[in-house]
Amino acid sequence: MSDKSLKLTNRPAAVIAMALFAVAAVTYGDASRMAVRATYGMSANAASYFICLFFVALGLGHLLSAFRISAGPTEDCDWRAIGWIALALTGLIGSVWLHAGFVLGATLLFTFTARAFGRRALLADFLAGGVIGIIVFLFFNKLLSLALPQGPLERLLG
């Protein structure tokens, strides 16, 4: 082994290795708290232990490649766009959480996702998203009687 081979050449692989070890530790902790109830053979936590082992092996594999294989060129990433989609999903989850209903959540999701892909017409998209949300809600709630989260607007429609 020369010095060169000990240099960290693939940072993502090293990060993934750490994540794998962390998940393995969590899984191990969870499995060790389970009571053994098996009659013969394996109990329910055996699979957890097995996955732990598997993750540790995968983590070691990643760690090995982190030092030996250099990372390919990573593409440029438009973090601003990712941020808009994160906001879009937050809008949806928030409005379901606060019982503001599906239509508002879908509208926010649509508007901010469109923004992430470069649209600037926020108001037009907001209206378009609202129309889509209402159509989807009416179709699935009325026609297929699926229970979508309801808020004030949905109760008005229903």
Partner 1 sequence: MDAIHLLIEGFSLAIQPANLVFAAIGVLIGTAVGVLPGIGPALTVALLLPVTFKLDPGGSLIMFAGIYYGGMYGGSTTAILLNTPGESASVVTALEGNRMARAGRGGPALATAAIGSFVAALIATAGLAFLAPLLVKVAVKFAPWDYFGLMLIAFVTVSATFGASPLRGLTSLGFGLWLGLIGLDQLTGQARLTFGVPQLLDGVEVTTLAVGLFAIGEALYMASRHASKPEKPLPVKGSIWMTREDWARSWKPWLRGTIIGFPIGALPAGGAEIPTFLSYTMERKLSRKPEEFGTGAIEGVAGPEAANNASAAGTLVPLLTLGLPTSATAAVMLAGFQQYNIQPGPLLFTQHAGLVWGLVASLFIANVMLLVLNLPLIGLWVKLLAIPLPWLYGGILVFASMGTMAANPSVIELLLLAGFGVIGFLMRRYDYPVAPAVVGLILGPLADSALRRSLQMSLGDPMVFLQHPSSAIMIAVATVALVAPFMFKGLAKFRQDED
The footprint of partner 1 on residues 99-128 (CB under 8 A) is: 102, 105-106, 109-111, 113-119, 125, 128
Measure the N-to-C terminal CA separation of the chain; round to a whole number of Å: 71
Closest CA to 105 of 82, 80, 145, 132: 132
Tell me which DSSP letter residue 3 carries: S
Nearer to partner 1, 111 or 153 (CB): 111
The count of chain residues that interact with partner 1, using the rule CB under 8 A, is 72
Judged by beta carbon, residue 119 or residue 157, the one nearer partner 1 is: 119
Residue 2 CB, nearest approach to partner 1 (Å):
13
Minimum distance, C-beta of residue 93 to partner 1, in the bound complex (Å): 5
CB of 3 to partner 1, least distance (A): 18
42-71: contacts with partner 1 (CB under 8 A): 42-48, 51, 54-55, 58, 61-62, 65
**Considering the rule CB under 8 A, would residue 41 count as an interface residue with partner 1?**
yes
Nearest to 16 by CA among 51, 48, 64: 64
Torsion from C-alpha of 93, 95, 96, 98, nearest 10 degrees: 120
For partner 1, the binding residues in 67-96 under the rule CB under 8 A are: 72, 74-79, 81-82, 84-85, 88-89, 92-93, 96
Long-range contact set of residues 117-121: C-beta below 8 Å, sequence gap at least 24: 117/81, 118/81
Question: Exposed/middle/buried for 40, CB within 10 Å: 0-12, 13-18, 19+?
Answer: exposed
Judged by beta carbon, residue 7 or residue 139, the one nearer partner 1 is: 139
Please state the closest distance from residue 156 (CB atom) to partner 1, in A: 19
